[in-house]
A = this chain, B = another copy of it.
Amino acid sequence: MSATLVPVFAALADQTRWDILSRLGARELSASALAAELPVSRQAIAKHLAALAEVGLVEPERHGREIRYRALGARLSEVALQLDRIGAKWDTRLARIRAIAERL
């Protein structure tokens, strides 16, 4: 059910990737451009972008000789929806148990 979610969370469980995502959320940038703004090497950025693209959080687009990436908010919202559903399910379960307990 949520097995496919784990890789997405793995991708989101890193501060550097959030630094990247927040910048890509504002405007499209290449790996080199990101490396100029962040305190890590371009190759590290490239790995992060590959990881983010793997789970659909980011999308590459050739633009001349550089490749710009953009953050996909729709994908993030999609994950958020699944999370919310799971959380809601847990709570309804508990609510049911509480109701039974009160009846006794």
Chain A 72-104 near chain B by CB (<8 Å), digits 1 or 0: 111111011101101111110110010000000
Chain A 8-29 near chain B by CB (<8 Å), digits 1 or 0: 0110111100100010111100
Determine how close the nearest CB of chain B comes to the CB of A56; give it in whole angstroms. Answer: 12
Given A12-B9, A18-B2, A70-B84 contact (CB < 8 Å):
no
A2, closest chain B residue (CB): B18
Complex Cα–Cα for A76 and B82 (A): 10
Contacts of A10 in B (CB 8 A): 9, 13
This chain: how many copies in the complex? 2
On chain A, the number of residues with a Cβ less than 8 Å from chain B's Cβ atoms is 39
Which of these, B72, B84, B89, contacts A80 with CB under 8 Å?
A: B84
| Most B Cβ at <10 Å: residue of A5, A9, A26, A75 | A9
Complex Cα–Cα for A73 and B89 (A): 7
Closest 9 CB pairs of A and B: A76-B87, A73-B90, A73-B87, A73-B91, A25-B90, A80-B83, A80-B84, A77-B87, A10-B13
